[in-house]
Amino acid sequence: MFHFAGGLRTRRKNGSPMLSEYAENLGTAFMQRKTAIALRAAKVEAELASKTKSEFIANMSHELRTPLNAIIGFSEILMNPEGLKHEQIRQYSSHIQEAATHLLDLINSILDVSKVQAGKLVIDPSETDVPEIIDSCQKIIMPKAREKDLVMEWNISPDLPIIVADPMRLKQILINILSNAVKFTPTGSRIQVRAWPSEDGMHVCLSVTDTGPGMTPEEIDIAMSPFGQVRSTLNKTHEGTGLGLPLSNALVRLHDGHLRIESRKGAGTRVLIELPVDGPRTAHAAPG
Ligand SMILES: Nc1ncnc2c1ncn2[C@@H]1O[C@H](COP(=O)(O)OP(=O)(O)OP(=O)(O)O)[C@@H](O)[C@H]1O
Ligand SMILES: [Mg+2]
């Protein structure tokens, strides 16, 4: 359209002055309209960015405030312990410890994500026994699964080789994926955890399959981005900051592995992780 107006303008010298004036006016009107559309688009974009920012701040404030309030509340009670039973003191102290641990985990995740973004996160690989790691994750996750009456199936192949990986980070990845499955799957459902060696023996594969709300491909993209959370009536009451998945993905990649999400809205989600048995080939590891 712009070319059309410009084309007419070039003919001004020879063509009708009325026609070229009309073309010029049309060109100006078009440019004004284009600028107006661009301005409106910029405004919508700014509004969206500020909405995301305020949603993020509201979510973060909630995530920080809840454990902090618990720490303040229970420590206030413990400051005047007269009349409290021994069991109550033990219970309140354990609430404080839980809340403080949760805060520390949250802050560590935020620091990890900023390190990933700065390309400064390193891993410390060593010979790692995958079933041992799965076992320790199972102990952490089972009480939460029992609270929700979830049926957990653990199918760990006896042929898993020892792999070169960072055991702490591998545990962090698995806890993130397992706690998502437990958090988003409705009460009474089933979650399957599998671990097996790849056919060529070069990788160890791990999968967590749930029958939760599932995600569309667009929602998976959101879920994989830092602080990205999929809003739905099903999960809006759940805790979290949207850091678990992007961090797990980054940690798997530092191992030169792959993390893939297969999901169908309303049907469930399967997270598949493949880790090379020989560890990362590229230098993502911590020196020494
Ligand atoms: N198994 C799943 N089923 C359905 N939705 C999921 C599942 N796993 C993740 N999601 C969606 O992806 C979002 C991002 O997940 P992620 O683990 O990064 O964050 P989070 O669990 O909300 O918080 P955090 O892990 O930081 O405590 C979740 O908020 C949820 O909307
Ligand atoms: Mg999570």
pTM here is 0.77
Which candidate, 195, 136, 200, 125, places its Cα nearest to that of 163? 125
Name the one residue in this structure whose structure tokens are 């700065």: 118
Name the one residue in this structure whose structure tokens are 């301005």: 39
Q: Given a cut of 50, is residue 2 above it in pLDDT? A: no
Cα–Cα distance for residue pair 116/112, rounded to 1 Å: 6
Between residues 89 and 119, the one the model is more confident about:
89
Give the number of the ligand closest to the Cα of residue 181.
1
Q: Which domains does the chain have, with CATH numbers?
A: 1-121 (1.10.287.130), 126-276 (3.30.565.10)
Residue 105: strand, helix, or coil? helix
Residues 224-271 have pLDDT tens digits of: 988 888 876 454 566 788 899 999 999 999 999 999 999 999 999 999
CA 176–ligand 2 middle distance (angstroms): 5
Protein residue closest via CA to atom 31 of ligand 1? 230
Which residue stretches of 118-243 are H helix?
Answer: 130-147, 167-184, 217-223
**For residues 144, 149, 150 and 156, what is the CA-based torsion angle, rounded to 10 degrees?**
70
Predicted confidence band at 11 (pLDDT cuts at 50, 70, 90)? very low
Give the number of the ligand closest to the Cα of residue 249.
1
Predicted confidence band at 57 (pLDDT cuts at 50, 70, 90)? confident
Atom index in ligand 1 nearest the CA of residue 242 equals: 19
Give the number of the ligand closest to the Cα of residue 106.
1
Q: List all residues 6 or more positions away from 197 whose beta carbon is below 8 Å from its beta carbon.
A: 157, 159, 160, 161, 203, 204, 205, 277
For residues 64-73, give the mean pLDDT: 93
Residue 81: strand, helix, or coil? coil
Task: Tell me which residues have their CB closer than 6 angstroms to ligand 1.
Answer: 176, 180-181, 184, 210, 212-213, 215, 223, 228-230, 235, 240-246, 269
Q: Given a cut of 50, is residue 105 above it in pLDDT? A: yes
Cα–Cα distance for residue pair 252/173, rounded to 1 Å: 8
